[in-house]
Every structure is written in structure tokens, then in C-alpha cells.
């Protein structure tokens, strides 16, 4: 199986992919999220792993838009506890570090650590693990990366500060994506992701949420996203848990009649946080 990931080997996307699929997989490395849906649509990869939200930084809204635009199917999810480590060439310590290069999300999640070290210049880059690799290949002294322990081991760097993330229980949710959704419903599924656009009427969103509750469906996330060609109109992306397939299908049938647009983004099994 060939899996597209954002970043390179040693990235958190690789760790999430191996947690979901196991170690017997091949990877296609992407430096940006926008490459991933194109690879799926052109059948260059079998599936992909894409970060969708972080417990500190919140939702990654452009990724919701990519999934919707390319009509990708959500086939599963992975929750991964994120441990950020500061790493550099062997023999260096924190006092030697003049700059830290990393993904803006990683920098954001470690802002308290760097407030205590204002002498360190922060440089935004595309991928955490790729910076670790570059430091090793180019023998960059005075430069450190924020990345996983896996990246430090893979690229022979020394970890000079452990767990520098501001919130120690810092987790990221990843979607497992495929080109298109299978028609058959698996009875082991207990979670779904939907997109809907309400009718422009008072109380329409509340009415939809009430239908979920009446059908014993537990809403776990709701996220609004602007509709590009309609100013101040929004689509809603929701995740929810259900136990009864019949109640779930009945709820979908009723919601379909009450919204302007409804799309099933995926039906899958709930995943739990891995520490």
C-alpha cells in the first residue's frame, strides 16, 4: 500500500500512518497538503493521511476545503499525542542555538518555551522532519529543529530539550483519506463526518442539531466554513458518534429534507487517543 503523507519520514504524519496501517507500507512524501488530493485523484497513491485539527491550534480549515473540493472520502481517523523535541547536530547545547526552523504549527505549539528564550530567532518552514534532515545533510551548526524523537533517531541528531510543547497533553487528529467513498455500509462503523448547508431560515441549524439528539446521535465536533461564492453564508462540517444504524439512517433521511445541501464525507470507526 502506498500512502501519501505531508512531510517526510520521521514526520508526525508518518507516525500516524504507521499507527493506522502498520509498518508494512510505502510512503509518498508531500511538502504541502495541496499535493495530496491530486495524488489521490490521479491514483498515484492508494490513500493518504492528513492532519485536520490540533487540540491547541484548532482546526486546519484549508484541509476541510480540500477534502470537500476533491470529494475525498474519510475512511478513518487517528489521534496522536504530539511530543515536540528540540534537536540539533551532536555536541551542541541550547546556548549554541541561534535559530530554530520548523513548521508554523509546531512553533505555535511551543510558544511558551520560546518566550523564555527570546534570543532564538524562529523561522517558519514547510515540515518538521525535513528540517531535521537538512540540518544533518548540510551540517548546520547553531540551527535547531522541532520534531519527533523518530526524526532525531532517523537523522542522527541530539535532542537538547525534551517535550517543549506548551501544553503537555497536545494531540493532533488525522484523517485517513481515499479517492472516493464505497457504497456499502460497514456495520462496524460508529462515527461519521458530514457537510451540510442550512436553509437561510431562523432556527434552521438548531433544528438540525435537535434531530441528531432525538436520534441518539452524539455530536463530537461542529465547524463552520465560509461558502466562497456566497458572502456571509456558511457550510457546516460535523462529526458525530452513533450506535444504531437504523436511527442514523433515519436521521440522515430527515436532515436531507431540511437542508439546502448534504454530503456524507465519511463513515468509519472511532479511534482513540494514543499517548
Of the residues 114, 174, 196, 212, only one is catalytic, namely: 174
C-alpha distance from residue 43 to each of 4, 9, 74, 218 (Å):
11, 21, 16, 35
CB atoms within 10 A of CB 99: 12
User: Please, are residues 241 and 234 in contact by the beta-carbon 8 Å criterion?
Assistant: no
Active site residue 188: no
Catalytic residue chosen out of the listed positions 20, 172, 175, 212: 172
Determine how many CB atoms are found less than 10 A away from the CB of residue 51: 23
Residues 6+ apart with CB under 8 A from 210: none
Q: Does residue 172 carry a catalytic annotation?
A: yes
Dihedral of the alpha carbons of 241, 224, 37, 103, in degrees to the nearest 10: -100
Residue 21 CA to residue 82 CA, distance in Å, equals 19
Instruction: Compute the CA torsion angle 144, 145, 151, 155 (nearest 10 deg).
Output: -40
Active site amino acids:
172, 174
Amino acid at each position: 500500500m502506498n500512502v501519501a503523507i505531508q512531510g517526510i519520514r520521521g514526520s508526525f504524519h508518518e507516525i500516524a500512518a504507521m499507527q493506522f496501517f502498520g509498518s508494512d507500507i510505502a510512503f509518498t512524501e508531500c511538502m504541502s497538503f495541496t499535493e495530496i488530493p491530486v495524488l489521490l485523484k490521479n491514483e498515484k497513491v492508494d490513500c493518504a493521511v492528513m492532519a485536520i485539527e490540533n487540540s491547541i491550534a484548532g482546526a486546519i480549515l484549508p484541509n476541510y476545503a480540500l477534502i470537500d473540493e476533491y470529494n475525498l472520502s474519510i475512511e478513518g481517523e487517528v489521534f496522536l499525542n504530539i511530543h515536540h523535541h528540540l534537536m540539533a547536530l551532536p555536541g551542541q547545547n541550547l546556548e549554541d542555538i541561534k535559530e530554530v526552523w520548523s513548521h508554523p504549527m509546531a512553533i505555535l505549539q511551543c510558544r511558551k518555551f520560546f518566550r523564555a528564550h527570546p534570543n532564538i530567532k524562529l523561522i517558519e518552514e514547510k515540515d518538521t522532519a525535513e528540517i531535521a534532515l537538512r540540518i544533518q545533510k548540510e551540517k548546520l551548526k547553531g540551527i535547531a529543529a522541532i520534531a519527533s524523537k523518530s526524526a532525531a533517531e532517523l537523522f542522527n541528531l541530539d535532542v537538547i530539550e525534551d517535550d517543549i510543547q506548551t501544553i503537555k497533553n497536545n494531540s493532533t487528529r488525522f484523517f485517513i483519506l481515499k479517492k472516493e467513498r464505497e457504497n456499502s455500509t460497514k456495520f462496524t462503523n460508529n462515527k461519521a463526518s458530514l457537510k451540510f448547508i442550512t436553509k437561510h431560515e431562523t432556527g434552521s441549524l438548531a433544528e438540525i442539531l435537535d434531530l441528531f439528539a432525538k436520534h441518539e446521535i452524539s455530536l463530537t465536533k461542529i465547524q463552520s466554513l465560509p461558502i466562497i461564492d456566497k458572502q456571509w453564508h456558511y457550510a457546516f462540517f460535523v462529526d458525530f458518534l452513533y450506535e444504531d444504524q437504523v436511527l442514523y439512517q433515519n436521521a440522515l433521511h430527515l436532515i436531507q429534507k431540511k437542508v439546502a445541501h448534504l454530503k456524507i464525507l465519511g463513515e468509519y470507526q472511532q479511534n482513540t487517543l494514543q499517548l
